[in-house]
Amino acid sequence: MDANDHKKLGKELDLFTFSDTVGKGLPLFTPKGATIKRELERFIVDEELKRGYQHVYTPDIAKLDLYVKSGHYPHYKDSMYAPIEIDDEQFMLRPMTCPHHFELYLSRPHSYRELPMRIAELAKLYRYEQSGELMGLQRVRTFCLADAHIICKNEEEAVAEMGRALDLIEYANGVLGLAVGTDYHYRLSLGDRANAGKYYKDDAGWDKAEGLLRELMASRKVKFVEAKDEAAFYGPKIDIQMKNANGKEDTVFTVQYDLSGPDRFDLTYIGEDGKSHRAFAVHRSSIGSIERTIAFLIEKYAGAFPLWLSPVQAKVLPIGEKHFAYAKEVHEALKDAGIRAELDESGESLGKKVRNAKTEKIPYLVVLGDKEMESKTVTAEGRDGKSLSSTVEGFISTLKGEIAERK
């Protein structure tokens, strides 16, 4: 196993675990792992709201009829949990969000003035992956997807929205420290006209949609590969591909053109002419499955996360017992300021405390001795080895600035 493998580091850093009693492929996040997950979710929701997305909540379960209507059943039957019988009706744990969002759109009529409508959700999804396919957080049976579906007036608007979705993905990747060509690459995933059992039948629509996506990628002047027979059953897509520490490639983020959803759900809007018109739909995941993204970030940073993502941002290390009272003051000041700080009150030597904290890959170690206690200051050592001395307030200001910038 590679030293940076997220399964190894996840256990060493106490980020997540699995339990056979709970079930295979069902991750349990510890408080530290949950902190990373929460920070990623807050980041992407805030960013999407800025960009005109409307965040919603829809149920994790729905009637089987919904997935028959969408075409996902039987296409995804083998990777869906078995139906649940309740009051003579069949329900399913949802494997995707699009039919829920389409039904939400259908709850009332819409005008062309409302479009494009960007419906987003941090959605819990459930897929019964085969046991041999399960792998840490990268392939699980339940995950949270940063999902969205964009209802558009026409093809031109749909393609423009796909471009904006790629802008968001590239921005988010930049914040996460991921670079195109180094950490990820683009794939244009195409259908196969001869495979009528796998893909929605609309040869002309597929030809046009694939051409539009090819033009979009060319206009962005970014390298991409084309992959036949990798599309969604309902349309072609642009996938962002990454490799894990062991060299296996996975799709992490995706933007998809939907040829079938608007017809299956009769998605319409009232145009300027006062008449009903067929809408167009785009599917996209901005930072993908939060679980899979965390796996890649663990491996990218070898567990040494940027300050804003670090489960513990600073550890307060009193040199001796006589410094404990002041250390508690500093610890409380950091926590009150919103800094995720821990206090080491063990009776270990300072050297052992420092070694333990470095093993936990904590960004800042705050060492407090006689000098700091008398002057009411702190001495902090960063992961880069640089040391800084300042007032408690000055140290807090430095950390908050770095967190705000998400360096």
Secondary structure of the chain in HEC code, one letter for each residue: CCCCCHHHHHHHCCCEECCCCCCCCCCEECHHHHHHHHHHHHHHHHHHHHCCEEECCCCCEEEHHHHHHHCHHHHCHHHCCCCEEECCEEEEECCCCHHHHHHHHCCCCCEHHHCCEEEEEEEEEECCCCHHHCECCCECCEEEEEEEEEEECCHHHHHHHHHHHHHHHHHHHHHCCCCECCCEEEEEECCCCCCCCCCCCCHHHHHHHHHHHHHHHHHCCCCEEEECCCCECCECEEEEEEECCCCCEEEEEEEEEECCHHHHCCCEEECCCCCEEECEEEEEEEEEEHHHHHHHHHHHCCCCCCHHHCCCCEEEEECCHHHHHHHHHHHHHHHHCCCCEEECCCCCCHHHHHHHHHHCCCCEEEEECHHHHHHCEEEEEECCCCEEEEEHHHHHHHHHHHHHHCC
Q: Are residues 192 and 49 in the same domain?
A: yes
Q: Are residues 378 and 248 in the same domain?
A: no
How large is the average pLDDT for residues 380-386?
90
φ, ψ at 226 (rounded to 5°) = -105, 140
Is residue 155 assigned to a domain?
A: yes
Which residue is listed with tokens 């890959």? 361
Is residue 221 assigned to a domain?
A: yes
Is residue 1 assigned to a domain?
A: no
Is residue 68 assigned to a domain?
A: yes
- Contact between 331 and 341 under an 8 Å Cβ cutoff? The reply is yes
Is residue 55 assigned to a domain?
A: yes
Q: How confident is residue 74, by pLDDT bands cut at 50, 70 and 90?
A: confident
- Contact between 147 and 290 under an 8 Å Cβ cutoff? The reply is no
Is residue 374 assigned to a domain?
A: yes
First CA to last CA distance, the chain: 30
Q: Are residues 246 and 122 in the same domain?
A: yes
Q: Up-side HSE of residue 345: CA atoms within 13 Å toward CB?
A: 11
Domain of residue 343 covers: 307-405
Query: pLDDT by residue (tens digit) across 150-198?
Result: 999 999 999 999 999 999 999 999 999 999 999 999 999 999 887 877 7
| CATH code where residue 398 lies | 3.40.50.800
According to the model, what pLDDT value does residue 362 have? Answer: 97
Q: Are residues 122 and 144 in the same domain?
A: yes
d(CA 407, CA 405): 5
Q: With 90 as the cut, is the pLDDT of residue 260 above it?
A: yes
How large is the average pLDDT for residues 60-78?
90
φ, ψ at 2 (rounded to 5°) = -60, 145
- Contact between 317 and 367 under an 8 Å Cβ cutoff? The reply is yes
Q: Are residues 252 and 358 in the same domain?
A: no
Count the neighbouring beta carbons within 10 Å of the beta carbon of residue 216.
18
Last residue of a domain, one of 238, 273, 300: 300
Is the backbone peptide bond immediately before 236 cis, with ω within 30 degrees of 0? no
Query: pLDDT by residue (tens digit) across 326-346?
Result: 999 999 999 999 999 999 998
Count the neighbouring beta carbons within 10 Å of the beta carbon of residue 359.
11
Q: Are residues 202 and 79 in the same domain?
A: yes
According to the model, what pLDDT value does residue 75 have? Answer: 75
According to the model, what pLDDT value does residue 197 have? Answer: 75
Q: With 90 as the cut, is the pLDDT of residue 315 above it?
A: yes
Closest Cα partner for 252 from 213, 219, 295, 282? 295
Q: How confident is residue 236, by pLDDT bands cut at 50, 70 and 90?
A: very high
How many domains does the chain contain in total? 2
Is residue 118 assigned to a domain?
A: yes
Q: Are residues 12 and 52 in the same domain?
A: yes
Q: How confident is residue 270, by pLDDT bands cut at 50, 70 and 90?
A: very high
How large is the average pLDDT for residues 244-266?
92
Q: With 90 as the cut, is the pLDDT of residue 76 above it?
A: no
Q: Are residues 350 and 290 in the same domain?
A: no
Mean pLDDT score across all residues of the chain: 95
Last residue of a domain, one of 258, 279, 300: 300
According to the model, what pLDDT value does residue 407 have? Answer: 78
According to the model, what pLDDT value does residue 359 have? Answer: 94
Q: Are residues 320 and 265 in the same domain?
A: no
Q: Are residues 214 and 247 in the same domain?
A: yes
Last residue of a domain, one of 283, 300, 317: 300
According to the model, what pLDDT value does residue 248 have? Answer: 86
Q: Which of 63-77, 217-231, 385-399 has the lowest mean pLDDT?
A: 63-77
Q: Are residues 295 and 147 in the same domain?
A: yes
According to the model, what pLDDT value does residue 192 have? Answer: 87
According to the model, what pLDDT value does residue 396 have? Answer: 97
Q: Are residues 170 and 235 in the same domain?
A: yes
Q: Which of the pair, 364 or 77, is modelled with greater confidence?
A: 364
**pTM, two decimal places:** 0.95
| CATH code where residue 106 lies | 3.30.930.10
